Amino acid sequence: MKNIRTYLATLFILMALTLSSCELVGDIFEAGMWTALIVIVLIILLVTWLFRKLRG
């Protein structure tokens, strides 16, 4: 656990020194948008597959 904390602290310091706050927030929202889009597409495909399996 201590190893992870050291890694996270180093990563946080590196991001704080290299990225501006607006750029960091923008990157976080962009990653969240793509993650949400992929999850939504997967759910739609799963529901479609289930309906096709149930209808035979």
The CA distance from 11 to 14, in Å, is: 5
Structure confidence at residue 4 (pLDDT): 78
pLDDT tens digits, one per residue of 3-56: 778 888 888 888 777 777 777 778 888 888 899 999 999 999 999 999 999 997
Q: Is the pLDDT of residue 1 over 70?
A: no
Structure confidence at residue 48 (pLDDT): 96
Query: How many Å is the Cα radius of gyration of the chain?
Result: 19
Find out whether 24 and 15 touch, Cβ atoms under 8 Å.
yes
Structure confidence at residue 2 (pLDDT): 64
pTM: predicted TM-score of the whole model, two decimal places = 0.53
